[in-house]
Amino acid sequence: MRQSHLFTKTRKEAPQGEVAKNAQLLVRAGFVHKEMAGVYAYLPLGLRVLNKIIGIIREEIEAIGGQELLLTTLQDPEIWKKTGRWSDEVTDVWFKTHLHSGDLYHQGSELGLANTHEEALTNLMREYILSYKDLPTYVYQFQTKFRNELRAKSGIMRSREFIMKDLYSFSANEASFKEFYEKCASAYMSIFARIGLGSHTYRTFASGGSFAKFSDEFQTLCDAGEDTIYFSKEKKIALNKEVYTDEVLKDLGLTKEELTEAKAIEVGNIFSLGTRYSEPLGLLYKDEAGAERPVFMGSYGIGPGRLMGTVVELYGDQKGIVWPKSIAPFQVHLVEISSESEEVSKEAAELYRTLTEAGVEVLWDDRNLRAGEKFADSDLIGIPLRVIVSEKTIAAGVFECIERGSGKVSSMTASELIESLSHV
Amino acid sequence: MRQSHLFTKTRKEAPQGEVAKNAQLLVRAGFVHKEMAGVYAYLPLGLRVLNKIIGIIREEIEAIGGQELLLTTLQDPEIWKKTGRWSDEVTDVWFKTHLHSGDLYHQGSELGLANTHEEALTNLMREYILSYKDLPTYVYQFQTKFRNELRAKSGIMRSREFIMKDLYSFSANEASFKEFYEKCASAYMSIFARIGLGSHTYRTFASGGSFAKFSDEFQTLCDAGEDTIYFSKEKKIALNKEVYTDEVLKDLGLTKEELTEAKAIEVGNIFSLGTRYSEPLGLLYKDEAGAERPVFMGSYGIGPGRLMGTVVELYGDQKGIVWPKSIAPFQVHLVEISSESEEVSKEAAELYRTLTEAGVEVLWDDRNLRAGEKFADSDLIGIPLRVIVSEKTIAAGVFECIERGSGKVSSMTASELIESLSHV
């Protein structure tokens, strides 16, 4: 894409009152727009990153048998009353609204905006799960959740409106559930690895869901995290502070000395729901003997926006964002210096065409600006590889390439460039 | 995909009180789930269709220079007050909610759920449109809209929560706006043609937006439509009933005799916004002479869910849905008869592998059911081509193929099948 066509521009300043590093950088670089506290719109660059993260998650969840659907935001209170979660005292993050009732606006029946989808999906599955032959089955979606957070100060990592990948498993019994649970844990680690968070992310013992002593969180070590964990790099094990007791340590065969305290961001969680929802909502199946039993459920969440924010927090530096190759909005930032030289523009256009035809995603800075301004923008936007076309590089017969992360400089011809990018 | 793995099942009966043919068939075939009146979830088959429609729209809108972003559902009342559209008397379809305010739930400030996005986007663009050099620019999204419709009886064609492709143009003046407006009208006709609605859809004169005598609607002839239009097949011209006056007919050089009255579904609309939003919200740009001028805007909407519903209304028959190839959930419905024969299962598995490897999307009915039940399900689901594998077809050495729409039967080998599908 030509940068002169991109409608967003970089900004020198973050919005007033924005304290989170991720939102500061993402707003300044033109990836997101702050609509209000805790509510962010995704601009073209940000949407590209978000969609790449969603694509990686989708691939991994499809690979373990997930079937994608799309539930609704508007929620019927009657279903939530059955599980006891309609009350604002139980679920303090509800946004609620009213259904139109003729002339009397706001006099109709109350509706909820989904903050999660256990109730809706459990109720829906009563249509389709009747017998043990219908089990196990796994259903997921990417859907906007609404949570009326009292404080929303972590940028796009904790927002009032955010996209969530939520997966639910439906099994005949606990053993079948556990088998999938472990498969999903592995899929989650693959997702974090592919997004560039692998080496910083720990599967972490946390306080349990229903029917289980622990749930599992996936925590990425990061000073901006809201959670505190204790981890051992050697043993690749971690505990959330909430379960860090002598008894638990003893059970797990760990000592305080081998664990290090750190701040961490919860980038995913998986937990047993048991029959917490299937019983009150009547999601029952007939077993081999014809007896009716409640379905054993599990729940598995990842927030693509939170992953995006975590990457910015973890890798962003003084100059701006540093995207891993797998989720960068473009693979190459082609910067022409200066745009007043017709020869340089021609050479840049030629390289843009060559790279694009080879399937490389290129943001081409064809704007008529000083080199210093272009480089500062490029650093802020954080595309992994910057390729410079200038009178100097034309004279040398090779392009100057700079890796955004390491700062490593190299000189390459167009075909060497394509060759190097094909190893991504 | 193996049909035995698909968690949805077909149903004999539509939900009680569901009067729209599109929703009746889509629910029965397992494409959508009715959450409540006017609120539908998309199940795996339905989501596949929806995503194909979205993909076609995205391609055509990218081709005319649209840049995709994703705005928010939660809306700040202050922006809407500036254009006078916050009031429930002006905009009677608002869903409104409240922002959490400490212990006092429902005492915080009021928020809206977006029923459209002119205000939010116009306000956002003030960051990025400063000079005539930033114009024109075109921005679009696929975003869920919430409209508190008093009556929602048209199935997925008019729902309270629905995905909308909304595109907005920002131009320096009316002439520049009009140029894009016509480009977009052509893109819309391409979209409808690719989705299979081309020959039934008319660009239709309707009552104007701001700064224009008419707006343009795209109306698909269909008895289930809520609109009445007058059209001429010969002249490829149509008028919405609301502008069907002697004066307008005279202006357009038409007579009543050459126009036919018909019911139609509004599948898209495009209209001039002029400076209706840019003036009150202060979206101004500096022209070549340095003078500040309001941006001239246009708005362009298509509802992918409504298109899906329209296709079902238009082509569905007594037996079920008939999908055009371009948006079908799968291209081939591979039906094995019977699953008790090991040879048949092996042959079906082999054909499934061959087709899948050739890039054909196949739903493979590997369930252990009677042929009659399988055929009835296949008719209801509406995949364009049914391919039967049975002892009879194995003996014949060719597969039996039946087109869902025309009922045309043919016999093909695997390679003939792949060859015929590559012409889609």
**Which CATH number belongs to the domain containing residue A33 in this structure?**
3.30.930.10
Q: What pLDDT, on a 0 to 100 scale, did the predictor assign at position A211?
A: 66
The answer to whether A161 and A115 have CB atoms below 8 angstroms apart is no
pLDDT at A339 > cutoff 80? no
Q: Which of B 149-188 lie inside 8 A of A, CB atoms?
A: 149-150, 160-161
In a domain, B375, yes or no: yes
* Distance in Å, alpha carbon of A246 to nearest chain B alpha carbon: 35
Quick one: A60 and A156 in the same domain?
Answer: yes
The answer to whether A366 and A339 have CB atoms below 8 angstroms apart is yes
A77 → chain B, closest CA residue = B36
Q: What pLDDT, on a 0 to 100 scale, did the predictor assign at position B99?
A: 86
Quick one: B355 and B387 in the same domain?
Answer: yes
Domain boundary residue, one of A315, A344, A375: A315
Domain boundary residue, one of B292, B315, B338: B315
Nearest Cα to B114, choosing from A31, A97, A157?
A: A97
What does residue A386 show for φ and ψ, rounded to 5 degrees? -100, 130
Q: What pLDDT, on a 0 to 100 scale, did the predictor assign at position A99?
A: 85
β-pairing verdict for A292-294 and A332-336: unpaired
* Distance in Å, alpha carbon of B140 to nearest chain A alpha carbon: 10
Cα–Cα distance measured from residue A79 to residue A281, given in angstroms and rounded to the nearest whole number: 7
In a domain, B102, yes or no: no
Q: What pLDDT, on a 0 to 100 scale, did the predictor assign at position B331?
A: 97
**Range in A107-121, A373-387, B58-72 the model is least confident about:** A107-121
The pLDDT tens digits of the residues spanning A200-238 come to 999 999 997 666 789 999 999 999 999 999 999 999 999
Nearest Cα to B295, choosing from B211, B213, B184?
A: B211
Average pLDDT over residues A128-147: 97
User: Residue A7 and residue B47: Cβ atoms within 8 Å?
Assistant: no
Helical pair B44-63 and B304-315, crossing angle rounded to 10 deg: 120
In a domain, B105, yes or no: no
Q: Is B157 helix (H, G, I), strand (E, B) or coil?
A: helix
The pLDDT tens digits of the residues spanning A39-56 come to 999 999 999 999 999 999
Q: How many residues would you count in chain B?
A: 424
Closest partner residue to B72 (CB to CB) among A41, A92, A149 is A41
Quick one: A69 and A218 in the same domain?
Answer: yes
How would residue A92 be classed by pLDDT, with cut points 50, 70 and 90? confident
What does residue B88 show for φ and ψ, rounded to 5 degrees? -70, -20
How would residue A423 be classed by pLDDT, with cut points 50, 70 and 90? low
Average pLDDT over residues A281-309: 98
Mutate to test the interface with B, among A73, A103, A117, A171 (most CBs of B within 10 A): A73
Q: Which of B 27-46 lie inside 8 A of A, CB atoms?
A: 33, 35-36, 39-44, 46
pLDDT at A108 > cutoff 70? no
A and B: number of Cβ contacts within 8 A: 144
Q: Domain range holding B218?
A: 21-73+114-315
User: Residue A11 and residue B127: Cβ atoms within 8 Å?
Assistant: yes
Quick one: A280 and A354 in the same domain?
Answer: no
Q: What pLDDT, on a 0 to 100 scale, did the predictor assign at position A73?
A: 98
Any idea what the CATH number is for the domain that residue A357 is in?
3.40.50.800
In a domain, B394, yes or no: yes
Helix (H) or strand (E) holding B374: helix B371-381
User: Which residues, other chains included, contact A366 with Cβ-Cβ below 8 Å and sequence gap of 6+?
Assistant: A2, A3, A4, A336, A339, A345, A348
pLDDT at A140 > cutoff 90? yes
Interface contact A131, partner B, CB < 8 A? no
β-pairing verdict for B332-336 and A110-113: unpaired
Quick one: B307 and B371 in the same domain?
Answer: no
State the total domains in chain B: 2
A338 cis-preceded (ω within 30 degrees of 0): yes
Cα–Cα distance measured from residue A95 to residue A92, given in angstroms and rounded to the nearest whole number: 9
Q: In angstroms, how far is CA A118 from the centroid of its own chain?
A: 20
Quick one: B381 and B271 in the same domain?
Answer: no
Quick one: B59 and B174 in the same domain?
Answer: yes
What does residue B308 show for φ and ψ, rounded to 5 degrees? -60, -45
The answer to whether B363 and B332 have CB atoms below 8 angstroms apart is yes
Quick one: A202 and A241 in the same domain?
Answer: yes
Average pLDDT over residues A188-211: 92
B345 cis-preceded (ω within 30 degrees of 0): no
Complex confidence, ipTM? 0.96
Q: What pLDDT, on a 0 to 100 scale, did the predictor assign at position A104?
A: 45
How would residue A78 be classed by pLDDT, with cut points 50, 70 and 90? very high
β-pairing verdict for B137-146 and B67-68: parallel
Domain boundary residue, one of A289, A315, A341: A315
Q: Is B399 helix (H, G, I), strand (E, B) or coil?
A: strand
Cα–Cα distance measured from residue B151 to residue B158, given in angstroms and rounded to the nearest whole number: 9
In a domain, A281, yes or no: yes
**What share of chain A has pLDDT > 70, as a percent?**
97
Q: How many residues would you count in chain A?
A: 424
Interface contact B103, partner A, CB < 8 A? no
Q: Is B303 helix (H, G, I), strand (E, B) or coil?
A: coil
* Residues of chain B below pLDDT 70: 102-108, 209-211, 339, 423-424
The answer to whether A304 and A50 have CB atoms below 8 angstroms apart is yes
Q: What pLDDT, on a 0 to 100 scale, did the predictor assign at position B102?
A: 60
Average pLDDT over residues A166-176: 98
